[in-house]
Amino acid sequence: MGADMTAQPSTPVPRPASPEPTAPDPVSSTVSSSASSSAPSAAPAGEAAATGRAATGGAATGPVSTSPVTAVVAPDGHDGAPAPRWARFGSPPRRPLLLGLGASLLMLVGGFGAGGVLVRDPWLTNSPIGFWRYGHGSELATALVYIGVALLAWAWVQLGREVIAGRVGGRAVLTTAAVWLVPMLVTPPLFTRDVFSYLAQGALPLHGFDPYAVGPEVMPGVFTDNVHYFWQDTPAPYGPLFILLAKGTAAAVGGNVIAGVILMRLVLCIGLVLLVWALPELTRRMGGRIPVALWVAVANPVMIVHMVGGGHNDLLVMGLLAVGALYALRGRPVIAIVLVTAAMAVKASAAVALPFVVLVWAAQMPGPSRTVRILKATAAGVGVFAVTFALITVAAQVNLGWLPALSAPSMIVNWLSLPTGAGELVHWVLNLVFNLPKQPFINIARIVGGLLLLWIGVKQWLAARDGGPDALRRAGIVLLAVAVLSPATLPWYLSWGIALLAMTAWTPKALSWLVFVSLWLVIVYYPNGEAALYNWGYLAGCALVCGLAAWSLLHPDPLRLRRRKDPAAGGTSTTSADDALTAAGAGQRQG
């Protein structure tokens, strides 16, 4: 629906082993009495836990289960007695915390030479370290960024094992994610140049231009100089609330583009704060588990690298959707519709959630029949939406010109959009025999994709007519469908659905797939913001690495590189982590 400013390709520019009993984490999900009572009965508990730790460095995980991940215990400590200094932060496991911090610092340093760097950097240009932006210096910086991404992925997988095993609680996951995020607040934009477009679009009305009628090129200056050439003449495809925030940011920093990048990122992080605030209660209401939800939505490399490191306004959409969903389930539907309308006033895609919020409202209304309640809630919801959107538009001092600008996504052609990819594939096959233009195939495939999206949306809405948490889960499904079936898809678009689906129940196998998709989305663009989607050799190598990471979430040491001492024979044992964990899981089942 809404388009981002990242350019298209161009040549220039389980059963877990029984954990050690510890005090519950107040921010973690509540441990049920049945789970607590069953933990001691796992046989042999001490042996299984020890074996798992020996094989995985504290990340014991049982065989893959198809049932949702459930907490056995939410500990306050880790690997032994609780550490008092860490208790207030949930005693996060130190290895993934420090590994992820090191990864973020490497990306921070590398970003100054390989990220979305300034055309003219007032600090680095003509300085003794200016070489970092060019030639071999830039290549070294790029290497640092990729090493940082790899280490962050490794840290995230390690943390995920702890989450699945129930050895860490929500506070520990949140603390770890916060440590990883801090360096991203001051890094140059990573894997994108969108934030420069945001600043330029905010500056346009300050100079008397309509951001919905003209592109940044009409306003020469430092902001425009750093906008990607592909978007220089494109009007803003964002809603009035975002234009209001961008205008305030541009006014606050004047012509200081570095301050503008940092301030814009901080403004967008309001969405992250809202997401974290809503997540615990929303997770309990939607049947998920708080540490898992935090690991999926907040500690995810997509959040660290793209949403915060890149600085995308989809972060605001995530936060507003999550808080709106929470208020809907609390029985405060007017506030819920106001918040979801505000999300739509950032990106039009969020409007997909409004009909599902109406269903939640209808289920809470008195009335003789479901149909009557839905009609009443729809009428009231339309009224709340109209008033809210009108007030935001007036406050931003803009008009509805952004609606025609929503056609901007059609300018982006990449196969992350499934219809676009299907059209390209069909054209490629036929073009082996016939010399045919590509665009008609893409246009037809996008029409088919739109019809498929409409069918999915209607089907999910009809299935959600009873309201409640299920309606919001189905809203998340439709938001994901919008992300991948729209004419254009960018990696951060999938965050719309995750804003609601992260709080639902996840199976270990689903989490493993999440690892693959998330890491894939991080690396399909180069650090400088150019697309890597047609570099097939690069993508093949990255896919193998992403697959290995996904497999290792549930199967530590997938390459069987680690060998442990056999205390009886004094030699090495070829028993892999997989075998040890499988044996531990079998022991638990027999016990």
pLDDT tens per residue across all 591 residues of the chain: 444 444 343 333 343 333 333 334 434 333 333 333 333 333 333 333 333 333 333 333 333 444 566 544 444 434 444 445 668 899 999 999 999 999 999 999 999 999 999 998 888 887 888 888 888 999 999 999 999 999 999 999 999 999 999 999 999 999 999 999 999 999 999 999 999 999 999 999 999 999 999 999 999 999 999 999 888 999 999 999 999 999 999 999 998 999 999 999 999 999 999 999 999 999 999 999 999 999 999 999 999 999 999 999 999 999 999 999 999 999 999 999 999 999 999 999 999 999 999 999 999 999 889 999 999 999 999 999 999 999 999 999 998 877 777 777 678 889 999 999 999 999 999 999 999 999 999 999 999 999 999 999 999 999 999 999 999 999 999 999 999 999 999 999 999 999 999 999 999 999 999 999 999 999 999 999 999 999 999 999 999 999 999 999 999 888 777 755 444 444 444 344 344 333 333 333 333
Residues in CB range of 36: below 8 A, 6 or more apart? 73
Q: Per the structure block, which two tokens stand in for 150?
A: 């790899």
Residue 58, classed as helix, strand or coil, is: coil
Give the closest residue to 543 by CA, choosing from 523, 559, 514: 523
Res 388: pLDDT: 97
Q: Looking at the DSSP assignment, which residues form a beta bridge with residue 531?
A: 525
Residues in the chain: 591
Res 465: pLDDT: 95
User: What count of other Cβ atoms lies within 10 Å of the Cβ of residue 410?
Assistant: 15
Distance CA 461, CA 355 (A): 8
Distance CA 409, CA 431 (A): 25
Res 563: pLDDT: 59
Distance CA 230, CA 4 (A): 11
User: Considering the entire predicted model, what is its pTM?
Assistant: 0.84
Res 557: pLDDT: 81
- Helix (H), strand (E) counts: the chain: 23, 2
Distance CA 581, CA 555 (A): 8
Q: Where are the alpha helices (DSSP H) in 229-369?
A: 240-253, 257-286, 290-297, 301, 314-329, 333-344, 354-364
Give the closest residue to 15 by CA, choosing from 554, 479, 574, 382: 554
Res 562: pLDDT: 72
Compute, in degrees rounded to 10, the torsion defined by CA atoms 315, 319, 324, 327. Answer: 170
Cβ–Cβ < 8 Å for 215, 234: yes
Q: Per the structure block, which two tokens stand in for 536?
A: 């097939």
* Placement of tokens 């499904």 in the chain: 477
Res 164: pLDDT: 96
Distance CA 338, CA 324 (A): 8
* Placement of tokens 């998340």 in the chain: 476
Give the closest residue to 228 by CA, choosing from 253, 259, 194, 203: 194
Cβ–Cβ < 8 Å for 279, 269: no
Res 70: pLDDT: 56
Cβ–Cβ < 8 Å for 236, 205: no
Res 230: pLDDT: 87
Compute, in degrees rounded to 10, the torsion defined by CA atoms 79, 83, 86, 89. Answer: 60
